[in-house]
């Protein structure tokens, strides 16, 4: 590709592999086995990225990078500074952060995260990816990527609100079909105002999201963290409960990390999944 369609940057504390595996986004994949090239669909936007060490090449125009992807990957935040705030006596968290030091908290679309984490309940990553691919192919807008290949944008609430509550079972969502359809109806009817939620504090946004059918505390916190970038959110699942029971019998030191708890959560979650064997 020509230079005007690429952006090259040296980025510390940034790993495409770790971000892809961190359980935040499910439309990112490795393009070539063993290579550092990944593709990503966010909303209706498509990106290919290549990484060698800390040198990253974003295959997009500088304008698109500045106006969308730079913020999406949270590139203005100094993650080394976040890691430096960890209590050096907390060897578990020090090791977890070192292991997952390339993770970034992505700034993703609110509607997409509502649907994604409704689907994620009692589900595994492979199935979540398949479910999301299915609903995008069935109800998303058809697009062409930079190589002329077809991909599908994420379906808008309007595309799902008129469906029968069980219609998405055909996309392998199972009982979660009604959660997604009802959420779409809530958005289209104005029962929940996504633009208003984006402006709310963590506490208020979480409360608003809990009003959606099928959204529990863990899902609400995932949406707050991965869409609204409320870094106070600390999603709790079985991996996190186990980690806290083992390493923080007196409770997690919330006060120390109150403004970056979500980043610490991702280090712990990733370490429990892949490193703490």
Q: Chain centroid to CA 159: how far?
A: 22
Name the catalytic one among 156, 218, 258, 277: 218
In this structure, are residues 113 and 226 in contact, taking their beta carbons and an 8 Å threshold? Answer: yes
Backbone angles phi, psi at 90, to 5 degrees: -90, 80
In this structure, are residues 220 and 234 in contact, taking their beta carbons and an 8 Å threshold? Answer: no
Question: Is there a catalytic annotation at residue 218?
Answer: yes
Q: Is 260 helix (H, G, I), strand (E, B) or coil?
A: coil
Backbone angles phi, psi at 145, to 5 degrees: -85, -175
- The DSSP code sequence of 149-182 is -EEEPPPPHHHHHTS-TTGGGGGT-TTHHHHHHH
d(CA 230, CA 239): 21
Catalytic residue set: 218
């Amino acid at each position: 590709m020509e230079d005007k369609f690429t952006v090259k940057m040296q980025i510390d504390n940034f790993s495409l592999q770790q971000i892809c595996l961190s359980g935040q986004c499910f439309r990112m994949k490795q393009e070539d086995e063993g290579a550092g090239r990944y593709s990503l669909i966010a909303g209706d936007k498509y990106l290919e990225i290549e990484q060698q060490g800390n040198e990253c090449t974003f295959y997009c125009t500088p304008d698109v990078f500045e106006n969308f992807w730079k913020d999406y990957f949270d590139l203005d935040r100094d993650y080394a500074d976040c890691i430096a705030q960890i209590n050096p006596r907390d060897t578990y968290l020090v090791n977890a952060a070192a292991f997952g030091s390339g993770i970034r908290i992505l700034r993703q679309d609110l509607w997409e995260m509502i649907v994604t984490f409704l689907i994620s309940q009692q589900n595994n990553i492979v199935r979540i990816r398949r479910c999301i691919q299915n609903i995008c192919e069935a109800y998303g807008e058809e697009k062409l990527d930079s190589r002329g290949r077809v991909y599908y944008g994420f379906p808008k609430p309007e595309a799902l609100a008129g469906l029968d509550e069980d219609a998405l079972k055909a996309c392998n969502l199972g009982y979660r079909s009604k959660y997604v359809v009802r959420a779409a109806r809530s958005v289209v009817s104005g029962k929940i105002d996504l633009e208003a939620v984006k402006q709310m504090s963590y506490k208020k946004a979480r409360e608003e999201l809990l009003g959606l059918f099928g959204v529990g505390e863990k899902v609400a916190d995932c949406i707050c963290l991965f869409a609204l970038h409320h870094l106070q959110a600390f999603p709790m699942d079985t991996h996190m409960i186990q980690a806290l029971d083992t390493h923080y019998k007196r409770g997690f030191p919330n006060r120390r990390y109150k403004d970056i708890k979500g980043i610490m959560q991702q280090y712990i979650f990733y370490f429990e999944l892949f490193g703490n064997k």
